[in-house]
Chain A
């Protein structure tokens, strides 16, 4: 087993663990963290691919590394937005559960405006 395969297997573990966390953890903050674990797994896979695809004497294929950096920036922005929403939700509702599964019921005057 070469190192690229080892890293790819670690990536698979991270994606699996993250998906598990996203499904079973009811708390939104833990879901956000789990999303980041899945993301790390994908980025690690991209790194392994960059390493494997190295040719022409380079240490690695530069395109996946560029993608990786962009991906990390996107995941960071997503996390920031999610945490900001979470904080606002905590301020507004006093709790951060996602459990209200039913759509809002009819309220005569409070409303969507």
Chain B
């Protein structure tokens, strides 16, 4: 194995953001912002160059650090998955950077503050660490990358230094550390058994045996804790809802994808033959539970940012549905076909759409001085760009035409039908409707006419709002993937009945769920339909919603969550041993 042409670019993708951090730290004052913006442009160029090098050779781009070959040396490697994620992250970070200029800029004449200084440095640190996650070729470098990502993400939560955000940050850090120590324990077991941590070498040597089972269970569980998959989500809602909008966008759109990407590396690249059908089903089942519970809990939130945070939890569940769908029962291993492509596309759609939604919510918060959903009436007229960005982001998440998530859903449905796992088709369709419900709920409030014109406390930069809109549009444009790497047959005539019916079902079904489960259901234009349906149905939905909310509350207690963590690890171990 040697360094391939363009290999040095991989090292640059990691080094350039960190050089930016150090330069910003040394130059100080208002310079970090300038350094960050310069780095954003440079980094986008580097990501594009890596993609070009990959497309030219058609094989993974490799860089051997110091010229030492694995197993003694460490290799950086970028395959198709890495290249796609590198590009997506560069675009999303760019959008967030433009947006953050309004919030974290230091206009001439104003005193320099610590908050913007810290934000820009941390933004670059997150970027460098997540790039390292994508290009690392061995499990220990991945551990270090994951820790760096956490260390950069945690301070973003508490940028404003209020007690509750500090508490959220500390909870996040402690739970993430618990996850990463489990991951490290698994990696140590793998080294002890196979004598290497290099992914391709390890993939050749791994056999289904106790050490590999224990390592797989520990590492998967540790990574799930960092990704905040149900039931290991105690840290996410307060952390993501309490951070400033630009920081929430970074955390929700990108940071959770780091550990999720590592689960893919582990399951698809390191031990595709070790994982079993029941273990993949278990991972998918946790995802399905996340979609159902957190969508309903999202409907019951009073604050927009908390609703979006719970939506992130539900969407994280969606990202794990591809694991059971990728399992090939005939061969008894995971195969990277359309399910993996669908999962990746879903992740990128979510990254762009969720960043756009948090940014739009941040603009609305800044303008109104609050983000109570019930108080959003009239905002669509006052801030059309932000509401449009939120709506387009929502459409992209629902998976209706035309959006990247639509193609993702098609690919996943195809994989479900191909492997005969009809139950995941139900979950996929229901997930779209549940996503529709909270998007419709927010839009129903935002589009309502206010009694009096809305008074904006502060005018919000148009450029910031446009950045949110641009990211939302990117999420829709991902449907263009069908013109390039994905088969064109995925795109059908959007007005055909077979395509229109699911769209209508998603929107109308979502509306019905919003009326049924919403904490304070939106008033429908046709009289007070909510109270007309009323009676026993409404009481039942309220009871179910309340039960989910209480369950969520219990699971977010520290002892319950950490025992759930051990239980999940035990369950994975059991499904790996007994499932073959």
- A residues neighboring B (CB under 8 Å): 15, 19, 22-24, 26, 28, 31-32, 35, 38-39, 42, 45-46, 49, 52-53, 63-64, 67, 70-71, 74, 77-78, 81-82, 85-86, 88-89, 92-93, 98, 100-104, 106, 108-113
Contacts and interface: CB of A to CB of B under 8 A. Distances in A.
B365 A101 contact: no
Given A35-B177, A88-B158, A101 B242 contact: no
A66 B305 CA distance: 43
Contact of A92 (B140, B163, B244): B163
A98 B160 CA distance: 18
A26 B188 CA distance: 29
A82 B235 CA distance: 15
A22 B171 contact: no
B154 A103 contact: no
B556 A101 contact: yes
Contacts of A98: 167, 170-171, 174, 558
B305 A112 contact: yes
A71 to B, nearest CB: 7
A22 B167 CA distance: 17
A23 B169 CA distance: 18
Contact of B174 (A32, A93, A100, A108): A32
B365 A42 contact: no
Contacts of B566: 19, 23
25 contacts: A22-B562, A24-B559, A35-B178, A64-B188, A64-B191, A70-B140, A78-B173, A82-B173, A85-B158, A85-B169, A85-B170, A89-B166, A89-B170, A93-B163, A93-B164, A93-B167, A98-B167, A104-B238, A104-B241, A109-B370, A110-B162, A112-B242, A112-B245, A112-B305, A113-B103
Contacts of B161: 88, 92
Contacts of A103: 237-238, 241-242, 306
Given A70-B144, A112-B243, A113-B160, A81 B72 contact: no
A88 B167 CA distance: 10
B167 A89 contact: yes
A45 B302 CA distance: 48
B114 interface: no
A96 to B, nearest CB: 8
A7 to B, nearest CB: 12
A102 B366 CA distance: 24
Contact of B244 (A52, A77, A108, A113): A113
Given A49-B192, A111-B365, A78 B559 contact: no
A47 to B, nearest CB: 10
B242 A104 contact: yes
B557 interface: yes
Contacts of A110: 162
B185 A15 contact: yes
Interface string B351-367: 00000000000100110
Contacts of A109: 369-370
Contact of A93 (B166, B181, B362): B166
B188 A46 contact: yes
A106 B195 contact: no
B226 to A, nearest CB: 13
B563 interface: yes
A100 B170 CA distance: 12
B366 A100 contact: no
A30 B365 CA distance: 37
Interface string B103-115: 1000000000000
A78 B147 contact: yes
A86 B396 CA distance: 39
